A and B are shown apart, each in its own frame.
Chain A
Amino acid sequence: MSVLIYVDQADGQVKKASLEAASYGAEVASQLGVEANALVLGTPEVDLSSLGSQGIKKVFQVKQAELNQFDAQQQAAVIAEAVSKTGATIVVLSNNLTGKALGPRLSARLKAGLVAGAVGLPDTSAGFVVKKGVFSGKAFASIQVPTALKILALTPNAFAVKEGGGVAVVEELAVAVPAAKTKLISTNKIKGQIPLSEAELVISGGRGLKGPENWGMIEELAQLLGAATACSRAVADAHWRPHHEHVGQTGGSIAPNLYFAVGISGAIQHLAGVNRSKVIVVVNKDPEAPFFKAADYGIVGDAFEVMPKIIEAVKKLKAS
């Protein structure tokens, strides 16, 4: 019995969401009194023994360069074989964009119950129950997983990365790699920006900003704080900002430490995507804006007057 954590990579680096999954998986393992091992597919440039820091004992690496490109069908086949070779009974992965492609395939392949979007550790007092978000952030469901093999896909930003002292043993794992049916043509990453799904701080703008030409203050504050930028659906629909910045029920669902909303009314569909944020700040000129009910801090005021002063204050803070 062991917990096997699938650790994925981008541009040769281990993704932060996978470090969270590794930390979570190690905690699940210690709760059950078993070992936590990691599985890495491909040939990332980093020293994988550092996963020991997250509580990983052994890192199994399927060292085939073709696995650096992602094909869900191919990877699921490789992971499934690794699960049986390592005798894992629980598979942990991040429910990030990669995990959303892999978790369901693995579940169907291995007949293993899947919790897609776990937000907490298992409760084993009556069976094996794990909490996940449902109704687009408006509620939680506790999922009972009765199958012998279980898959837990952890929501990004729901579990802190553990930094310990350990060093993991890296071992090569020989697994047959079937040919990929999909072919990567090109990758288009937005340069110099923090991916929204991984950001700890997010500055977001709504229709209250009047037009795309006024996003300078959102971008400046984001830059100062090392934050990502987001927007409401109304803004993305008006093509003021790119679609990938749209958060809410029908856009991205995020849970940063800080969600700073400027000129956004806080419609229920918008809140659904952001209400798991740890701290919510709202700047809106309408004291009746529904967003204030979901906020921790707020300023009732005109964004065009308030934001430049906030930027000045942050500059002072950063300088001190």
Chain B
Amino acid sequence: MKILVCISKTPDTTAKIAFTDNNTKFVTEGVQWILNPYDEWYALVRAIELKEKDPSVTIHLINIGGADNDAIIRKALALGGDEAIRVNLESTDSFTIASQIAAIAKEGAYDLIFTGKETIDYNGSSIGGMVAELLDMPFVSLATKFELNGSVATLNREIEGGEETVEAPLPLVVSCQKGMAEQRIPNMKGIMGARTKPLKLVEPVAVDALTSIASFELPPAKAGVKLVPADQPEELVRLLHEEAKVI
């Protein structure tokens, strides 16, 4: 069985968010880059668990980005990917990215395609659904649990106020979130092994972008906190009722 795990590079969760060039560009100076947490902790680790149960499973990684993405790709290989493909393209348009993944997936005949729930920079939550549509495959979004019995998967997916359990045939696209697996740390053997695992560079297919980013902005700053003395909590309740009018 072949699993394709889509991984992306995002700023570290503590990165300072600032913009330049008339608010059209994210300031990357001083930013630490990481594997998008949802891709790493849930999508990739669940794939690794499936491989641990069934050694015939192979895990292929795909990333769309420039050469500076190789560091996070090597990390994913160190965690347990078998081989990786990087499509040499930088884009902020989800459809352009999804089209690259779909093009690779068509050739690779994967049984399962895993993505993270969303990236923590653009928060589109779009790649999985787009890839599924482009490949005409079923898609289970925001999965918290994935089990495989032969060629049928049983999944839990989040719904408003709870979860539902669904059955889906392979091939299948799944977006993964908390619950699917637990975060792992790569070990020394994995890190050493990752250096020699195949990382193939592929040129992109031509796609017309469906969106572009016109500009960025930061949210307005808060006016400052109004502190209420600890021995007068009823004053807080009064303020919430009469001033803020939220209760």
Contacts and interface: CB of A to CB of B under 8 A. Distances in A.
Nearest to B168: A182
B233 A299 contact: yes
B123 A188 contact: no
Interface stretch (B68-76, B186-194, B198-206, B210-218): B210-218
B230 A97 contact: no
Interface in A63-92: 71-73, 76
B211 A15 contact: no
B81 interface: no
Contact count band on B: 35 or more
SS class of chain A's interface: helix, strand, loop or mixed?
mixed
Contact of B237 (A183, A249, A314): A314
A299 to B, nearest CB: 5
Contact of A306 (B159, B218, B230): B230
B189 to A, nearest CB: 27
A139 B140 CA distance: 28
A42 interface: no
Interface in B104-150: 120-134, 136-142, 144
B123 to A, nearest CB: 6
A144 B141 contact: no
Given A136-B120, A297-B228, A188 B162 contact: yes
A37 to B, nearest CB: 23
Contact of B230 (A102, A134, A249, A300): A300
B240 A297 contact: yes
B196 interface: no
Contacts of B98: 104, 108
A71 B140 CA distance: 8
A84 to B, nearest CB: 16
B167 A116 contact: no
A116 B95 CA distance: 12
A23 interface: no
A278 B132 CA distance: 36
Contacts of B162: 187-190, 195, 244
Interface in A293-317: 293-302, 305-306, 309-310, 312-314, 316-317
A162 interface: no
A100 B141 contact: yes
B233 A310 contact: yes
Contacts of A72: 129, 132, 138-141
Residue from A112, A138, A272 having most chain B Cβ neighbours under 10 A:
A138
B244 A134 contact: no
Contact of A73 (B94, B95, B132, B215): B132
A304 B228 CA distance: 16
Interface in A102-139: 102-109, 111-117, 127, 129, 132-139
A15 B179 CA distance: 25
B142 A100 contact: yes
A144 B129 contact: no
Interface stretch (B12-20, B45-53, B83-91): B12-20
Contacts of A300: 227, 230
A292 interface: yes
B144 to A, nearest CB: 7
B126 A104 contact: yes
Contacts of B228: 297-299
Interface string B206-241: 001011111111110011011111100110111111
Interface string B140-180: 11101000000000100111111111111100000000110
Interface residues of A, number: 102
B246 A279 contact: yes
Contacts of A183: 166-168
B247 interface: yes
A186 B165 CA distance: 5
Nearest to A193: B161
B165 A257 contact: no
Nearest to B243: A297
Nearest to A257: B246
B134 A108 contact: yes
A7 to B, nearest CB: 14
B94 A116 contact: yes
A241 interface: no
A201 interface: yes
B95 to A, nearest CB: 6
A281 B208 CA distance: 46
Interface of A: 10, 15, 17, 71-73, 76, 95-98, 100-109, 111-117, 127, 129, 132-147, 181-190, 193-195, 197-198, 201, 225, 236, 243-244, 246, 249-251, 253, 257-258, 268-269, 272, 275-276, 278-279, 281-282, 292-302, 305-306, 309-310, 312-314, 316-317
6 contacts: A97-B141, A103-B126, A108-B131, A145-B211, A185-B167, A306-B230
Given A117-B123, A279-B244, A313-B236, 16 more contacts: A73-B136, A104-B126, A104-B128, A107-B126, A132-B123, A141-B215, A147-B210, A181-B168, A185-B166, A188-B162, A249-B120, A250-B120, A281-B240, A297-B226, A310-B236, A312-B234
List the 4 shortest-distance A-B pairs measured between CB atoms, nearest first: A104-B129, A301-B230, A195-B161, A189-B162
